[in-house]
Amino acid sequence: MNMTVGYMSMKRSKWKGMEQARFLIKLGELLENGYPLSHAIQFLMLQESRKKAADLNDALLKLREGHPLHAVLASINFHPQLVSYIYYGEKHGHIEQALMEGGGFWQKRTEDLERMKKLLIYPLFLFFFVANIFIVLQETLLPKFQMLFESMEVKQNIFLTVVLAVSKILPAIPVILAVSLMFIFFGRKYWFSRMCPLKRRKILHKIPFIGRFLKLYDTQFFSSQLSGLLSGGLSINESIRLFSESSQPFYQKLCCLIKQELTEGKSLEDIFQEIPYFEKHLSVIMAHGQKYGTLDSELFHYSRYVLSAIEEKTGAAIRIIQPLLFSIVGLLIVSIYLAVLMPMFSLLGGL
């Protein structure tokens, strides 16, 4: 695992998110069909570009040196969460299932992010374009209207007064954004990243919209991987111990805490009732699964349910965000028209 952590701090991967996902799915399918791991990678190497084939060749050399697959994937800078799927898959013995499940999950996540980007690019472009027109308008046309009102001693209408007030704020917005971004960057680097991983997660969960999705992702990942470890014949204590050896600091700290409370005699249900990082139903699943001896299967089905909930919420968010952005853009366009027409009507009415 030390090797894995070292590799994860290296430069960004040449493999895009979708490419990583598809590679893992194909590798899992080949293993499921009886291919040895090295032969499967060699087969996939033939289908990749020269740079990626070189990565896979290095991966083969490391595998022959005895390094585990999760560390090899980390060495070519695959995403840490994908590497975690493989790590736990190696521990519970269902590596092909872990490859296909991790790849499928990452493929869906990447598709959702790409869909969100495509839907947001056009309205965001319109928003900035119209905002620039509004700035040009308030720098050139509106001051002339104001001078004309003053010279003709015509009272300004309410709309023009509001537009002029807003126009005084607009030049400060880029400065405010730049200062905010600098504050976020330095705050993350020198304060947030040095904080305890559990405290960091609590703060992230309090962020509107993002926090809800993060809690769902954490619940799905934890229940899915714990299910795999239990179905591989490991006990609860052994599974939690493996989680505490994770390359992800959050799971390291959390599972060390769970392991300590288990040794103190607390029940799994009570422990998960007190943990604020997962969905509240997880403790009920823990209690029910332990009672009937079906904890691994219940966690597996619960992880699928949470994954469906993530997909539904992502779709709902996309359906809300794009119309909202278009509405803001439309409001700006109407404001520009009114900023031009209303002063003219006021001047005509004052003659």
pLDDT recorded at residue 5: 41
The 8-class DSSP code of residue 47 comes to T
| Integer CA distances (angstroms), 164 to 144, 155, 160, 344, in order | 12, 14, 6, 15
Three-state secondary structure call for residue 232: coil
pLDDT recorded at residue 89: 79
Q: Cα(86)–Cα(100) distance, rounded to whole angstroms?
A: 10
Contacts of 93 (CB under 8 A, 6+ apart): 232, 233
pLDDT recorded at residue 168: 67
Q: Cα(26)–Cα(40) distance, rounded to whole angstroms?
A: 9
pLDDT recorded at residue 9: 39
| Residue ranges for the chain with pLDDT beneath 70 | 1-13, 92, 116, 119-120, 123, 134, 138, 141-142, 145-146, 148-168, 170-171, 232-233, 247, 332, 335-351
Q: Cα(243)–Cα(222) distance, rounded to whole angstroms?
A: 9
pLDDT, tens digit, 9 for 90 and up, residues 156-183: 566 666 666 666 676 677 788 788 889 8
| Residues 75 and 58 sit within 8 Å (Cβ to Cβ) | yes
pLDDT recorded at residue 10: 41
Domains and CATH numbers, the chain: 17-103 (1.20.81.30)
Q: Cα(130)–Cα(335) distance, rounded to whole angstroms?
A: 10
Residue ranges of E strands in the chain: none
At residue 225, what is the residue type?
Answer: Q
Q: Cα(40)–Cα(63) distance, rounded to whole angstroms?
A: 12
Q: Cα(157)–Cα(351) distance, rounded to whole angstroms?
A: 14
User: CA gyration radius for the chain?
Assistant: 28
pLDDT recorded at residue 7: 39
Question: For the whole model, what pTM was predicted?
Answer: 0.64
DSSP states of 256-271: HHHHHHHHTT--HHHH
pLDDT recorded at residue 336: 65
Work out the widest C-alpha separation in the chain, in whole angstroms.
90
Q: Which string of b and e fits 36-46 if b means at least 16 CB within 10 Å?
A: ebeebbeebbe
